[in-house]
């Protein structure tokens, strides 16, 4: 599973599903071509990679969503995600 998919599952669990095309439409992000074409998928993944930073900053009231925080979120089970983000800086499971 891709990093983009995992991050979107953590930051937007209410999305209808977490397929690339569906997420772009749901989040009103630019759709740059047909799904499952390497170049179009890469462009759409970039939009989805940048979007969660803003979402994380809003959801968890943080001034920044660092790469380390995003990686921690990607590896953390959603059941303990809020607690993990609260104590970010210390070790999360």
> Each residue of 34-90: pLDDT tens digit?
655 676 777 777 777 777 677 777 777 777 777 777 777 778 887 888 888 777 755
Q: What is the DSSP letter of 6?
A: H
More confident residue, 69 or 33: 69
pLDDT digits (tens, 9 = 90+) for 20-29: 778 888 888 8
Q: Which residues contact 18 (CB under 8 A, 6 or more apart)?
A: 5, 8, 9, 12
pLDDT digits (tens, 9 = 90+) for 64-80: 777 777 777 778 887 88
Phi, psi of 41, deg, nearest 5: -60, -40
Cα 67 to Cα 28, 33, 49: the distances in Å are 24, 27, 11
Confidence of residue 1 (pLDDT cuts 50, 70, 90): very low
């Amino acid at each position: 599973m891709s990093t983009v998919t995992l991050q979107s599952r953590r930051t937007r669990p209410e999305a209808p599903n977490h397929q690339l095309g569906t997420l772009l439409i749901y989040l009103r992000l630019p759709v740059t071509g047909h799904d499952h074409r390497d170049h179009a998928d890469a462009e759409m993944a970039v939009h989805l990679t940048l979007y969660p930073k803003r979402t994380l900053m809003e959801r968890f009231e943080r001034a920044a969503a660092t790469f380390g925080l995003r990686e921690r979120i990607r590896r953390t089970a959603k059941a303990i995600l809020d607690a993990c983000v609260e104590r970010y800086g210390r070790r999360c499971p």
